[in-house]
C-alpha cells in the first residue's frame, strides 16, 4: 500500500506542522532553513554525471547519509551522532558501512557553498529529512543547531583506534557488545549478512535487538526504522570485485569502483557500496509499507548475489501471487520475521500504514536529534514538541524565589544541629557544608557534554532509577533534612536551585572565595515524576573502563571538562559521614575547609590500599598518616603525567587551585542550562 503525499502530510505533515509556532526560529546564526530546504528539494532530482542518482532521485542516497551520520550515536557515553558532522573525517569517513557516502557529500557541497552559515551536520540531517518528505514519507519535525567539528578526533573512541580499544574493546569484531553501539566496528548497527556473516536470520535477531538497544531504540522503533528506511532506494553490489581503495588507502580518489568499464565504471548500475544488490520494493522512491508485505507475502531463499554476498530472493507461496522481479532482502530483514516479537510488528506495519508512519516519524526524529540534547537546544522553524528521549522538564513557575535571599537561610543551617546526616568539625561543631557540596556535585554529575544530557536541572537524581545509583546513597536524606524545610517555607523555590545554591554557599563560606557566586544562576525546576526508564537509563554511571587513568580522563572528556577543571574538582571537601556511608574509612581532611590539602598530600605522602572498595573505587591510606584516606581516582592524578603537573601547581599555590575550582564548579553547575 502506498501512502499518498497528501495522506502522509495528514498523518504527520512536515515543514508546516510547527511553522506557525516556530516562525521566529526560522533563522539560526544566519541560517535561512527555508531557503536551504528549498534548494535541497530542487537538488534531489537534479542528477549529476559524476554520480547518477538511482531512479533519478538522490533522496535514498541522502537518507543513507543522514542515517549513517546520526546512527553512530551510542547511549553508553553519548558519543557519536551527526552533531559535529564528523562523517566527513576519518575514522567515520573510512568505515566500510560508509562506502561512497563521500559522493553524497559532494552532492550537497554546492548547497553548503551557497549557504555557508549552515553547519554540515545540520545540512546532512535536513537533506535526509527533506528527502523523506519529497518521496511522500512522514516526518515529525527537524531539530537544527548542530556545530561542526574541525576534525574527527571526537570519533576516535568509536573505532577502530587504539583509544577505542582502551575505552571499549571488542575482542571479536562482529561480536561487539556494550558499551560499543554496533556489533561490528565500522558498521552502523549489525552485519546485514548475519551474525559473523553466517546468513542465519534466527541468529541475527539478538544482534539487532542488542545493537539498536545500545543506540536507544526499542522494538517498535527498530522495526519501523529498518522497514521505513528500506522502503527507499536500493543496495549496491554490482560485481564481486568491490568498491576499490578506501579513503585511508587512496585519500584523493576513494572508492572509485571496480565494476563495469568506460565512463560508467563504478557508478550507476555498476556501483558497489554494501556488496548487496537490488531494491527492497518496487517503488523505491515512494513511501509505502510494501517492504513489510513483501516479507510476509513470499517465501525467501538465500543466494549469493552479484556482489558475492549472501542475500535473499523471493519465491511464490504455493497458490499465492508471484513475487515481482528484482526485489531482494538481507539476512537482517529476514530476521524480522524469524522472531515472534519482531514478526508481530512486521504484521502490524504491513496492514496499518498509519501506524508505521507515526512510529517511523518519531523514530527518525529520535535517530537524528538525540545527540543534540534537550528540546531547547533545537533550532529552526520545524522543531517538534519535546520528546521523551529529550528528557523534558516541567515549565518554570511564573515567579521563582530570589536566590540571594535564600543564601542567608543556607548559611544559617551550615553549622546548625540536625537530626539528619552531619559531619563534625575539628572543634567538635556539627557541619553539613561538605554534605551539601556532595549533593550538588552528585546532582550535576550526570551531565554529559557528548550528548548534552543530564545535569542538575530537574533534580532527577532524587528519583528512580538515579536515586538507587550507589554514589547517590544518602543524598536524598540530606535534601530532606536540610533543604526541603527551606523549600517548603519559600514559595517558588525549587529543590534543584536550592541544591546548587547550598553547595555554592558552602564552598564560598569554607574557602573565603566569594567569586563562587559570580556565575550562580537560578531558574531550575523539579521533576515530579521520573523520566521514561528506557531513556534515563543512559545516564547511569560508567564503570566499564578497566584502566583507572583512562577511566578518569575519559570521564572528564564526556563531561566536557578540561584537565585543570577535572583535577580541581577532585579537591572538593569530602564529608567523612558520607565516605563512611559509602563503605569507606574516612576522608583526607577537615570537611569544613576548602583548600589544596589533597594536592599537598598527593605530592608528599606514600599510599597503600585499605582493602576497601566502594562505588567510587578502591580506597588508600597514607603510610605515615593512618587517619588520612584517598581514593584510587585521586592517585590517578599523580600517576598521569598531564594531571600530575596540575597537582603540583595546585599543591604549591592554593589560589591557583581555588581559581580553577571556581571555574570548574560554575561549569558543572550551569552546563545543562540554556545560555543567558
The tens digit of pLDDT for each residue in 61-98 reads: 999 999 999 999 999 999 999 999 999 999 999 999 99
Q: For the segment 626-640, what is each residue's pLDDT rounded down to a tens digit? A: 999 999 999 999 999
Between the CA atoms of 147, 149, 150 and 151, what dihedral angle is there, to the nearest 10 degrees?
-160
pLDDT at 275 over 90: yes
Write out the E strands in 423-482. 423-424, 430-431
Three-state DSSP string of 609-665: EEEEEECCEEEEEECCEEEEEEEHHHHHHHHCHHHHHHHHHHHHCHHHHHHHHHHHH
Known catalytic residue: 236? no
Q: For the segment 101-125, what is each residue's pLDDT rounded down to a tens digit? A: 999 999 999 999 999 999 999 999 9
Name the DSSP class of 84: B
Residues 379 and 408 in one domain: no
Sequence-ordered list of residues with C-beta below 8 angstroms from that of 49, at least 6 positions apart, any chain: none
pLDDT at 310 over 50: yes
28 strand-pairing partners: 31
Residue 258 within a domain: no
Radius of gyration of the chain, Cα coordinates, nearest whole angstrom = 28
Total domains in the chain come to 2
Q: Is 303 left (phi over 0), alpha (psi -120 to 50) or beta?
A: beta
Residues 470 and 338 in one domain: no
Residue 139 within a domain: yes
Q: How many residues does the chain have?
A: 676
Residues 290 and 353 in one domain: yes
**Rounded Cα distance, 284 and 597, in Å:** 67
pLDDT at residue 270, rounded to an integer: 98
Residues 429 and 369 in one domain: no
Contact 41, 130 (CB under 8 A): yes
**Rounded Cα distance, 447 and 468, in Å:** 17
607 strand-pairing partners: 622
Nearest by Cα to 526 from 462, 474, 479: 462
Give the helix/strand (H/E) hosting 124: helix 120-134
Omega within 30 of 0 (cis) for the link into 514: no
Q: For the segment 494-530, what is each residue's pLDDT rounded down to a tens digit? A: 999 999 999 999 999 999 999 999 999 999 999 999 9
Name the residue with cell 566499564.
Answer: 544
Name the residue with cell 548497527.
Answer: 189
Residues 381 and 439 in one domain: no
| Domain boundary residue, one of 343, 366, 390 | 390
pLDDT at residue 418, rounded to an integer: 83
pLDDT at residue 637, rounded to an integer: 98
Name the residue with cell 557516502.
Answer: 101
Residues 378 and 457 in one domain: no
Residues 171 and 280 in one domain: yes
Q: pLDDT band at residue 396, thresholds of 50, 70 and 90?
A: confident
| Domain boundary residue, one of 364, 390, 416 | 390
Q: For the segment 205-241, what is each residue's pLDDT rounded down to a tens digit? A: 999 999 999 999 999 999 999 999 999 999 999 999 9
Residue 612 within a domain: yes
| Domain boundary residue, one of 345, 365, 390 | 390
Residues 303 and 424 in one domain: no
| DSSP reduced 3-state for 386 | coil
Contact 270, 306 (CB under 8 A): no
Name the DSSP class of 483: I
Mean of pLDDT over the chain = 95
- Triad 191, 197, 202: Cα angle to 5°: 85
- For 44, other C-beta atoms within 10 Å of its C-beta total 22
Nearest by Cα to 448 from 135, 139, 81, 160: 81
| DSSP reduced 3-state for 375 | helix
Residues 462 and 319 in one domain: no
Q: For the segment 147-193, what is each residue's pLDDT rounded down to a tens digit? A: 999 999 999 999 999 999 999 999 999 999 999 999 999 999 999 99
Contact 115, 123 (CB under 8 A): yes
Residue 395 within a domain: no
Among 27, 28, 68, 115, the one annotated catalytic: 68
Give the helix/strand (H/E) hosting 316: strand 310-316
Q: pLDDT band at residue 448, thresholds of 50, 70 and 90?
A: very high
pLDDT at residue 14, rounded to an integer: 37
Residue 260 within a domain: no
Across residues 428-450, what is the average pLDDT? 97
Give the helix/strand (H/E) hosting 496: helix 495-511
Q: Is 161 left (phi over 0), alpha (psi -120 to 50) or beta?
A: beta
Q: pLDDT band at residue 28, thresholds of 50, 70 and 90?
A: low
| DSSP reduced 3-state for 61 | helix
Sign of CA dihedral 387, 390, 391, 397: negative
- Can you give the pTM of this predicted structure? 0.95
Residue 676 within a domain: no
Residues 444 and 362 in one domain: no
Between the CA atoms of 465, 471, 475 and 477, what dihedral angle is there, to the nearest 10 degrees?
80
Residues 482 and 554 in one domain: yes
Name the residue with cell 495522506.
Answer: 7
CA dist list (Å): 539 to 76, 123, 352, 429: 8, 29, 35, 37
User: What's the CATH number where 651 sits?
Assistant: 1.10.520.10
10 Å CB burial of residue 603 (0-12, 13-18, 19+) is middle
Tell me the percentage of the chain whose pLDDT exceeds 90: 93
Q: pLDDT band at residue 5, thresholds of 50, 70 and 90?
A: very low
| Alpha helices, H only, 279-402 | 290-297, 331-334, 340-351, 353-369
Nearest by Cα to 575 from 390, 442, 465: 442
Residue-wise DSSP of 459-497: -GGGSTTGGGSGGGTTHHHHIIIIIHHHHHTSTT--HHH
Domain that includes residue 520, residue range:
403-670
Sign of CA dihedral 507, 511, 516, 522: positive
Residues 35 and 121 in one domain: yes
Across residues 473-477, what is the average pLDDT? 98
Residue 397 within a domain: no
Name the residue with cell 557541619.
Answer: 431
Residue 219 within a domain: yes
Q: pLDDT band at residue 27, thresholds of 50, 70 and 90?
A: low
**Rounded Cα distance, 653 and 424, in Å:** 27
Amino acid at each position: 500500500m502506498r501512502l499518498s503525499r497528501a495522506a502522509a502530510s495528514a498523518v504527520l505533515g512536515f515543514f508546516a506542522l510547527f511553522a506557525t509556532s516556530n516562525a521566529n526560529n526560522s533563522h539560526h546564526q544566519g541560517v535561512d532553513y527555508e531557503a536551504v530546504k528549498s534548494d535541497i528539494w530542487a537538488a534531489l532530482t537534479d542528477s549529476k554525471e559524476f554520480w547518477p542518482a538511482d531512479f533519478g532521485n538522490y533522496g535514498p542516497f541522502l537518507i543513507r547519509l543522514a542515517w549513517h551520520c546520526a546512527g553512530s550515536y551510542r547511549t553508553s557515553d553519548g558519543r557519536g551522532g551527526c552533531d559535529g558532522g564528523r562523517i566527513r573525517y576519518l575514522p567515520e569517513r573510512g568505515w566500510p558501512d560508509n562506502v561512497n557516502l563521500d559522493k553524497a557529500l559532494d552532492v550537497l557541497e554546492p548547497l553548503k557553498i551557497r549557504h555557508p552559515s549552515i553547519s554540515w551536520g545540520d545540512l546532512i540531517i535536513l537533506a535526509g529529512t527533506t528527502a523523506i518528505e519529497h518521496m511522500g514519507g512522514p516526518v515529525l519535525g527537524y531539530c537544527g543547531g548542530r556545530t561542526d567539528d574541525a576534525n574527527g578526533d571526537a570519533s576516535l573512541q568509536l573505532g577502530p583506534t587504539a583509544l577505542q580499544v582502551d575505552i571499549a574493546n571488542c575482542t571479536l569484531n562482529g561480536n561487539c557488545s556494550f558499551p560499543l553501539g554496533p556489533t561490528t566496528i565500522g558498521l552502523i548497527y549489525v552485519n546485514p549478512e548475519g551474525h559473523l556473516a553466517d546468513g542465519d536470520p534466527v541468529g541475527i535477531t539478538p544482534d539487532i535487538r542488542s545493537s539498536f538497544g545500545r543506540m536507544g531504540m526499542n522494538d517498535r522503533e527498530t522495526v519501523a526504522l529498518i522497514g521505513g528506511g528500506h522502503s527507499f532506494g536500493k543496495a549496491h553490489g554490482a560485481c564481486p570485485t568491490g568498491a576499490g581503495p578506501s579513503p585511508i588507502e587512496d585519500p584523493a580518489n576513494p572508492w572509485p569502483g571496480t565494476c563495469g568499464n568506460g565512463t560508467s565504471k563504478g557508478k550507476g548500475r555498476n556501483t558497489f557500496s554494501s556488496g548487496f544488490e537490488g531494491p527492497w520494493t518496487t517503488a523505491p522512491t515512494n513511501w509505502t509499507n510494501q517492504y513489510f508485505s513483501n516479507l510476509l507475502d513470499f517465501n525467501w531463499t538465500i543466494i549469493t548475489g552479484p556482489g558475492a554476498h549472501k542475500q535473499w530472493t523471493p519465491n511464490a507461496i504455493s497458490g499465492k501471487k508471484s513475487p515481482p522481479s528484482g526485489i531482494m532482502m538481507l539476512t537482517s530483514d529476514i530476521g524480522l520475521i524469524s522472531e515472534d516479537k519482531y514478526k508481530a510488528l512486521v504484521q502490524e506495519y504491513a496492514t496499518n500504514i498509519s501506524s508505521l508512519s507515526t512510529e517511523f516519524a518519531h523514530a527518525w526524529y529520535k535517530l537524528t536529534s538525540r545527540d543534540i540534547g534537550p528540546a531547547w537546544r533545537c533550532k529552526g522553524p520545524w522543531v517538534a514538541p519535546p520528546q521523551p528521549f529529550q528528557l523534558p522538564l516541567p515549565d518554570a513557575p511564573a515567579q521563582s524565589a530570589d536566590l540571594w535571599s535564600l543564601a542567608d537561610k543556607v548559611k544559617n543551617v551550615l553549622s546548625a544541629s540536625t537530626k539528619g546526616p552531619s559531619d563534625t568539625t575539628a572543634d567538635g561543631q556539627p557541619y553539613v557544608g561538605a554534605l551539601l557540596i556532595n549533593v550538588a556535585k552528585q546532582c550535576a554529575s550526570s551531565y554529559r557534554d557528548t550528548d548534552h544530557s543530564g545535569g542538575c536541572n530537574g533534580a532527577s537524581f532524587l528519583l528512580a532509577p538515579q536515586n538507587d545509583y550507589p554514589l547517590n546513597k544518602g543524598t536524598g536524606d540530606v535534601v530532606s533534612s536540610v533543604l526541603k524545610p527551606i523549600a517548603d517555607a519559600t514559595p517558588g523555590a525549587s529543590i534543584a536551585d536550592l541544591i546548587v545554591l547550598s553547595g555554592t554557599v558552602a564552598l564560598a563560606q569554607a574557602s573565603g572565595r566569594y567569586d563562587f557566586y559570580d556565575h550562580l544562576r537560578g531558574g531550575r525546576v523539579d521533576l515530579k515524576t521520573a523520566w521514561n526508564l528506557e531513556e534515563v537509563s543512559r545516564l547511569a554511571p560508567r564503570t566499564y573502563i578497566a584502566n583507572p587513568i583512562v577511566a578518569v580522563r575519559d570521564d572528564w572528556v564526556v563531561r566536557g571538562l578540561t584537565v585543570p577543571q577535572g583535577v580541581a574538582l577532585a579537591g572538593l571537601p569530602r564529608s567523612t559521614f558520607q565516605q563512611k556511608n559509602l563503605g569507606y574509612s574516612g576522608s583526607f581532611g577537615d570537611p569544613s575547609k576548602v583548600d589544596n590539602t589533597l594536592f599537598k598530600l598527593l605530592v608528599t605522602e606514600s599510599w597503600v590500599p585499605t582493602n576497601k572498595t566502594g562505588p567510587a573505587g578502591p580506597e588508600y591510606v597514607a603510610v605515615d598518616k593512618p587517619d588520612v584516606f584517598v581514593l584510587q581516582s585521586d592517585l590517578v592524578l599523580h600517576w598521569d603525567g598531564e594531571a600530575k603537573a596540575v597537582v603540583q601547581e595546585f599543591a604549591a599555590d592554593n589560589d591557583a587551585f581555588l581559581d580553577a575550582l571556581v571555574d570548574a564548579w560554575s561549569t558543572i553547575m550551569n552546563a545543562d542550562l540554556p545560555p543567558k
